[in-house]
Structure 1
Amino acid sequence: MIVDNDLLSIQQARILAENASMAQRKLATFSQEQLDEIVERVADAVEQHADALAVMSREETDYGRWQDKQLKNRFVCRHVREQLRGMRCVGVIGEDREKHIMDIGVPVGVVVALCPSTSPVSTAVYTTLIAIKSGNAVIFSPHPRAAKSMGKVLDIMIEAAQSHGLPEGCLSYLGTVTKSGTEELMRHAATSLIMISGVPGMLKAAHAAGKPVIFGGTGNGPAFIERTADIRQAVCDIIRSKTFDNGIAPSAEQSIVVDSCIAQQVRSVLQESGAYFMTEEESLRLGELLFCQNGRRRTGMVGVSAATLARKAGISAPQNVTVLIAERKYVSDADPYSRELLSPVLAFYVEDDWMHACEKCIELLLHERNAHTLVIHSGDEEVIRQFALKKPVGRMLVNTPATLGGMGATTNLFPSMILGSGSAGFGITSDNVSPLNFIYTRKVGYGEGSRDGMHGASPVAEKACAESGMSNDYSTTSTMQTVQQILVEAIKAMNSSADR
């Protein structure tokens, strides 16, 4: 019997979306304490399998290092869980008794989540924790390259969550994954929010669905080493970051921009740290291997070690090489080193001063239009401030490894496996995505007036009353008509002024 996987996937998508919608209505009645208990139990369940899941995802995808994937899994199950404790996302989440205003956290409903093959387990776990924490249902469309490892961790989480009270259908995933099924999930009337992490090929379809989109996208982030920086520490941070999981984190450095007066010193420290500066011929040879002629990344060149890349390109680098470096002058569409390199490879630019370096960083950030993450290593607070003010970027990190600092491991940014992708308009936020991105806030404001007067009313309202001779007792019909007339006249005056 011939099975049409597209039709099967579409049917599954519809069933999952409808079930999730009904289940989320039940979940919306849960208190924050009930949701928190489920989050704790889910994290406990995953942590028991953190090592095995790391090995499984590495073997399935061929990306990165299982040891670093293990660290990411444990980071989510431990550090993220600790950060979530005590956070209020549903019910009353803020109150100002003096001003008589209150904030109510309301879940958005059903979230459709697409996770990357580069970090399938940790991203799926993180998304699940913040969705449950904020009272939402979540449906995953697993990446085809990581379907087994994502299915495994989702089965573990579903069992743990449902055994501790999560309504059936609040956490689910497509068993038959096709593009048609994923698009049906995104378009379905029951879904409220689309979250795409590291799957830019689905962005167009996501926007066509007409739902809010959170895009945790790819990056092309430079690291600027300014003349006042601690050079050894800066190089150590960059090497540590770029070799973590073999450079596949979206926030990882893609290039180094250096002040010319310290360029030779930076070069020497990089070489001491195992970096290999390629000749122009070697750079061209590796560049041809990194991407196909149609611009796609070539299979087998993502998330592998620098030694493996050197061997494939016929480069005579030492066996213990940490990163490969290509010296460049210009940012160009034709140059592969101007693009995001999901591997331990870095471009190296030298600029005369921090102002020229500033312009180079902007070029690099905007080259792939995602403006993800920028790192600056500097001891000059004014230079740091100027970079922060001028760069079109989602996050700027100071004196820290980009991979670890971006995800909140070495900074006080919210610890997250989903990093919003700057101000390029692809998604609704550039935040380190948290449970607060999965809710909307209902504002509650109490009237300050009373039948006996307008105590606490705004000066504008009191002036309007005085000028019109209006009674302070604004509960009467005549007084309300006067208020309406004042508003009408004010709007006419504004329009007239605008016309002039």
Structure 2
Amino acid sequence: MLNFDYDLQSVQETRNLARQAKQAQTELAQFNSEQIDKIIRNMVKVAEENAVALAKLAVEETGFGKVEDKVFKNRFASTELYQFIKPMQTIGVIKEDKINKVMEIAEPVGLLMGIVPSTNPTSTTIYKSLIAIKARNGIVFSPHPSALKCTLEAAKLMNDAAVAAGAPANIIGCISKPSMNATNELMKCDEVAMIIATGGSAMVKAAYSAGKPALGVGPGNVPAYIERTADIPKAVRNIIASKTFDNGTICASEQSVVVEECIRNQVMEEFKRQGGYFMTPEETEQVGRKLFNRGHAMNAKMVGRSAADIAAGAGISIPPGTKVLLGEQQGVGEQYPLSYEKLTTVLAFYTVKDWHEACDLCMKLLNNGGVGHSLSIHTETPEMAIKFAEKPVFRILVNTASTHGGVGVSTGLAPAFTLGCGTWGGSATSDNVTPMHLINIKRVAYGIKDVTENGNSSYATGDAQQGGSGGTVSEDRIQALVNEVMSLLKQRGDC
């Protein structure tokens, strides 16, 4: 009975949040650029002031990751993001083509639903709040139950900061009594215009099946290929920095290392020198069993844990100071558990003969749960980077840490914690999601071609009369009509 009561309360709360946020968004839609920027600046200020407290709360509640890295993510999702989105035109006339006489005008999408993962709860909440408000949208969050407190606190801070700077009350909301029924209610309620889903595959699929526009992201199973011309110490340093950042909780982090035979020993020695531990086959099997439940569903207790925690949980001994665990794998699929996504400090390790074999292996790894997301390559041969750019992913990250490169820390990609995987990965976009994905664009188009010229009217008069009277059309007339159509197409530039 108690569960039934909780469920009813959860659904009713969700309905109230959606109605309040929609009303607030209707008011926000009338704000100008100066008003919106004032609101966002205050949100960024509050996010900065609370970056440490939110990071501590997230680690304390979920057990995932590291406080110092979550602090970085909170600041990246606020200050760095603001610098990137500040010049974006998301209100009023955003483009005017004076030659073709088309004017583009930005309009908000409306009320958004934000699905927040337990791995990056506070930074994702800050990020989605900012890009929503920048585009004059409201947002209501559906938190992961295991990250409820920290997500609620981040959403409250963002809402209070926005309201203090002039935004309508309740412009940012968050479910405080999470349940599947509440999440489904929010997904399907009339007030929500679009869903931004960051989380597990099941949740993303549910978002896409809700019957309304959704921006979802698929899993990442990022292969990191170290090609023979690579700067090996730098490549290993980047991979370890990436995989240990917040203990591997970002989906753009490397999952497998692929090396060529000719540099295998050098790479292994470099990993050992920098804090990598190569597990024996028996230890690899033990860790694999500990990491996954029900096939390749990851054990939540192992997500975002240090190498020492993983080793202790699996009952193996590792040297003090070990940063990442590496397990050699001979194939991809069910019999090779480390070939799947591992949001923690464990890497699969593969050896190949050459880049052709590396290509084939990377394809298998991507098809094993990472199509459309990201691929990392370390090489000093630009032509090789181009060859790997042909793989079915939308982020080819060259000579950088994959985690940092994918979200835009170490690359020129848009700062984001929602990374689209395109249609190949079942996503509606292949981009790093920004406010530009959260606006509608209306177009004012002036007539620039007179459709009454070039004898167009003959299509509706003489020819129709001929056809209607059962008469035949001469070959000369047919050729004349063809010439007229070709002339029109040339004017339009269609041929």
**For 1:175-194, what aligned pairs fall within 5 Å after superposition?**
175-194=176-195
Give, as a single letter, the amino acid of the residue that structure 2 aligns with 1:444.
V
CA distance in 1, matches of 2:404, 2:110: 31
CA distance in 2, matches of 1:126, 1:53: 14
How high is the TM-score relative to the length of structure 1? 0.89
Q: Tell me the equivalent position of 2:418.
A: 418
Mean Cα deviation higher: 163-172 or 182-191? 163-172
Task: Determine if the alignment matches structure 1 residue 441 to structure 2 residue 441.
Answer: yes
Aligned length: 469
2:137 corresponds to 1:136? yes
Equivalent residue, structure 1, for 2:308: 307
Deviates more, 1:302-311 or 1:121-130: 302-311
**Aligned residue for 2:327?**
326
1:433-459, Cα deviation, whole Å (9 max, x unpaired)? 10111112223322225xxxx5xxxxx
Show the counterpart of 1:359. 360
Question: What SS does structure 2 have at the residue aligned with 1:4?
Answer: helix
Q: How many angstroms does 1:425 deviate by?
A: 4.8
Q: What is the deviation of 1:85?
A: 1.3
After superposition, where does 1:116-195 map in structure 2 within 5 Å?
116-195=117-196
- The 5 A counterparts of 1:53-452 are 53-293=54-294, 295-368=296-369, 370-388=371-389, 390-449=390-449
Given that 1:218 and 1:372 are in contact with CA atoms closer than 8 Å, whether structure 2 keeps it comes out as yes
4+ residue segments displaced more than 4 Å: 478-485
Q: Deviations over 1:209-228 (max 9, x none)?
A: 11122113321000011111
TM-superposed deviation, 1:369: 5.0
**Separation (CA, whole Å) in 1 of partners of 2:105 and 2:462:** 30
Distance in 2 separating the partners of 1:22 and 1:448: 40
SS of 1:36's partner is helix
Distance between the aligned counterparts of 1:284 and 1:291, measured in 2? 11
How far has the Cα of 1:297 moved from its partner?
A: 2.0
Shift of 1:418: 1.5
Quote the Cα distance in structure 2 between the aligned partners of 1:129 and 1:77.
Answer: 8
1:60-92 deviation digits (Å, cap 9, x = unpaired): 000000110011111122111111111111211
Deviation of 1:344 after TM superposition, in Å, equals: 0.9
Q: Give how far 1:370 is off.
A: 4.2
CA distance in 2 between partners of 1:482 and 1:111 (Å): 51
Secondary structure in structure 2 of the residue aligned to 1:417: coil
1:292-321 CA-partner distances (Å, limit 9, x unpaired) = 245432242111111121222232210100
Deviations 1:386-436 (A, max 9, x none): 111x21113111110001111111000001121113433532112111011
Q: How does 1:4-83 map to 2 (within 5 A)?
A: 4-83=5-84
Q: Matched residues in 2 for 1:243 and 1:12: separation?
A: 38
What's the CA shift for 1:22?
Answer: 2.3
CA contact (8 A) 1:14 1:185 kept: yes
The 2-side partners of 1:128 and 1:439 are apart by 14
Per-residue deviation, 1:234? 0.6
- CA–CA separation in structure 1 for the residues paired with 2:159 and 2:462: 56
What SS does the corresponding residue of 2:254 show, helix, strand or coil?
Answer: coil
Q: Label 1:262 to 1:484 Cα distance change in 2 as closer, same or farther (>3 A).
A: farther
Maintained 8 Å contact 1:369/1:424 = no
Alpha-carbon distance in 1 for matches of 2:17, 2:460: 52
Is contact 2:373–2:394 with CA below 8 Å preserved after alignment?
yes
CA contact (8 A) 1:414 1:434 kept: yes
Contiguous gaps of at least 5 residues in structure 1:
455-460, 471-477, 495-500
Question: What runs of 5+ residues in structure 2 fail to find an aligned partner?
Answer: 468-480, 487-495
Contact 2:9 2:177 in 1 (8 A): yes
* Aligned-partner residue type, residue 250 of structure 1: C
- Cα distance between partner residues in 2 of 1:236 and 1:322: 11
SS class of match (1:192)? strand
CA distance in 1, matches of 2:232, 2:444: 52
Question: Is the Cα contact below 8 Å between 1:392 and 1:423 reproduced in 2?
Answer: no
Alpha-carbon offset, residue 23 of structure 1: 2.0
TM-score, L = length of structure 2: 0.90
C-alpha displacement of 1:169: 2.9
Q: What RMSD in Å do the two structures reach over aligned CA positions?
A: 2.3
Quick one: distance in 2 between partners of 1:10 and 1:479? 62
Give the whole-Å Cα distance in 1 for the aligned partners of 2:18 and 2:132.
15
